[in-house]
Amino acid sequence: MVLAAVLVLAALTVPGSAVSSPQAVLVEVRRAQAVDLTPDVVWILAVGSDARPGEDMTRVRGDALQLVGLDTRTGAAASIGVPRDSYVPIPGFGSDRVNAALTYGGPQLLARTVGDLVGIEPDYVMVTRFPFFEDMVDDIGGIEVGNPRAFSDPDLKPLGFEAGRIRLDGYGAMAFARIRKGLAGGDFDRSANQQRVLRGIHAAIAERADRPGFLERGVATVLRHTATDASPVELFRLAQAVAQVDRSRITTCVVPGALGQVGAASVVLPSVPVARRLGDAARQDATLPRGC
């Protein structure tokens, strides 16, 4: 969130966003080496961007990172959250926060960096601006999420969010997914909240997926509002994969770690062994262990 992340799901299926200019970028990853991925499982790295007007959203630090897997055979879906402040090696640039890879080398380098951490290199990277995310959530009538604890932010959401089942409009969903202040787990809890938003978006979309022409209009919307090197056929394939997701087979995990300090910067030191175990578990069937 911003969410970024999640927005691949809405962006590929929302028919008729209010955004009139390109607000997202979908890039097909060029693999530097052969990677053993099951062809029926599609992996998309969803990235939220707080780029200001006029800034290239593919060259500013991402605000949220979710690696989303979709199994087109079974309807399973998995989301591996990567805290944005994770301190990791970035190929060709030493070590830095993972979201800096977008600044250094754009979506392709970010894909390699996350792939090195988790062991799954995404097929696509989608970068989305905050306003596009908000509009998409509003376009599907808002979402519902389960909030495990009340929290607030004096800037984004002074009145905060109550615990329990809550309904969110576009702005509320953005704030819910972005806020870190007031969360005991900081960046880890924020990543988990992004995944709750993802579930909420999918549930809202699932209610409309069988309507005639819904997917076709969704793909047309992506083409109008997203700069992409993917073909219309690829976009429709992605939209079908999203529509086929079985709500009961969505699993989510956040890469764990510890807080640390590098110079004057506060960072997250991710557990690489656990990140790799999550990747190994989900690589072939987009299914993560429950309760992680």
| CATH classification of the domain holding 173 | 3.40.630.190
Task: Look up residue 107 and give its two tokens.
Answer: 């979506």
Q: Which domain holds residue 179?
A: 7-282
292: in domain: no
Residues 98, 16: contact at Cβ < 8 Å?
no
pLDDT of 182: 84
Tell me how many domains the chain contains: 1
Burial 40-76 (b: 16+ CB within 10 A, else e): ebbbbbbbbbbbeeeeebbebbbbbbbbbbbbbebbb
| Planar angle of CA 44, 112, 201, nearest 5 degrees | 20
Write out the chain's pLDDT in tens, 292 residues: 333 334 454 555 454 443 345 678 889 897 544 344 457 899 999 998 878 888 888 898 888 899 999 998 999 999 999 999 999 999 999 999 999 999 999 999 999 999 999 999 999 999 988 888 898 888 888 999 999 999 999 988 888 999 999 999 999 999 999 999 889 999 999 999 999 999 999 888 888 777 887 767 766 666 677 888 877 777 777 877 877 899 999 999 999 999 999 999 999 999 999 999 999 999 999 999 987 7
- Domain presence at residue 24: yes
15 is a domain residue: yes
Identify the pLDDT of residue 205. Answer: 81
Judge whether 1 lies within some domain. no
Is residue 287 assigned to a domain? no
Distance CA 92, CA 95 (A): 9
Any domain includes 290: no
Strand partners, 125: 27, 45
pLDDT of residue 231: 79
Residue 291 lies in a domain: no
Q: Under DSSP, is residue 212 helix (H, G, I), strand (E, B) or coil?
A: coil
Taking the CA of residue 204 as centre, how many other CA atoms within 13 Å lie in the half-sphere pointing to its CB? 27
Amino acid identity for residue 72 in this structure: T
Three-class secondary structure of residue 203 per DSSP: helix
Domain assignment present for residue 265? The answer is: yes
Please compute, for residue 118, the number of CA atoms within 13 A of its CA located in the half-sphere on the CB side.
33
The structure's pTM equals 0.86
pLDDT value at residue 139: 81
Provide the pLDDT for residue 237. Answer: 77
